[in-house]
Amino acid sequence: MKTILIPTDFSPNADHAAFYAFELGKHIKASLKLCNAIMVPAAARMSPQVAWPLMDLATLKKDAELELKKLSKQLQKTVTHAGVSLKEHPPLEVLAEVGTLPEVIRMMAEKEEINLVVMGTSGASGLNKLFLGSTSRDLIENSSLPILLIPPGTDFKPLKRIAFATDLTAGDLALIHSLAFFARPFNAEILIVHISKDDFDPERDQKKIDDFLNEVTCKAHYHKVYYRHVKDMGIDEGLNWLTDHADIDLLAMVHRKHHFIKRLFEGSHTQRMAAHVKLPLLVFPPETHTVL
């Protein structure tokens, strides 16, 4: 069975993402690990003039575990209210560990197989606020795991179309294959999107496209894979056009240097444009070859 890790700081957006992950876990038959990263106050940098009362670590962990169990019960209550047998909901484990969120995720990934991290964005502006946070930026930049980001107000619904933004590199073929794991339980379409600027040369580049699509046909093993070429646009404009016009339920992409997400971190007009992206965003680290 596959495993989804759900980090939470018990904020409304984190709780919202947990409910999304729970529903996703039911559909793809994955087990869930709900975790909280405990920051020890004594380890925080404070002015010498500021007194910070020391709290016993056991108390911190106990409080976090109580909150996790409370959230776990809330998640499982949605199942019983829907009339679903408790045996049908995904196995759910709660864990509280000491460290920053990136540290805790890395530690858990080293101890056991984690296939996906699902987490909420922060702030009313969704992705715009998330990428301004140093913790979230560090997590995306350094994680070896795929991360599914859930904006505020995005309720779970069965997936009908998943868009995957590609630059036609060979490494993306395995990711398209793995996306079928998401798509298959919903009989959803996978839309392969190639965005190119106005320097696209049909004679030079069409063979690259044809070769890539032939490989997809051979390796994806899924019958509802389609291709769309968005021409005469930069990556930023093309992705925003896609989310506005292609009626997709989830956008997936690889985080590469100088990529769309990289530029979001650095700030610019792109950051402002990304604020209106209100659908789940699946981010693959550069070296990932599988999701679930």
Per-residue confidence of the chain (292 residues) as pLDDT tens digits? 689 999 998 988 888 999 999 999 988 989 999 999 987 654 444 445 444 455 577 788 889 999 999 999 998 886 544 444 555 667 899 999 888 888 888 888 888 889 999 988 764 344 444 343 455 566 777 778 898 988 888 889 899 999 998 888 888 888 888 888 889 999 999 999 887 776 666 667 778 888 888 888 887 788 899 988 877 666 667 677 777 777 889 988 887 655 555 554 454 333 443 444 578 888 888 765 455 5
Residue type, 247: D
Where do the CATH 3.40.50.620 domains begin and end in the chain?
2-150, 161-284
Architecture of domain 161-284: 3-Layer(aba) Sandwich (3.40)
Tell which residue, 94, 96, 92, 93, has the closest CA to residue 79. Answer: 92
| Helix (H/G/I), strand (E/B), else coil: 284 | strand
List of residues 6+ apart from 268 with CB closer than 8 A: none
Is residue 116 within 8 Å of 253, Cβ to Cβ? no
**CATH fold of 2-150:** Rossmann fold (3.40.50)
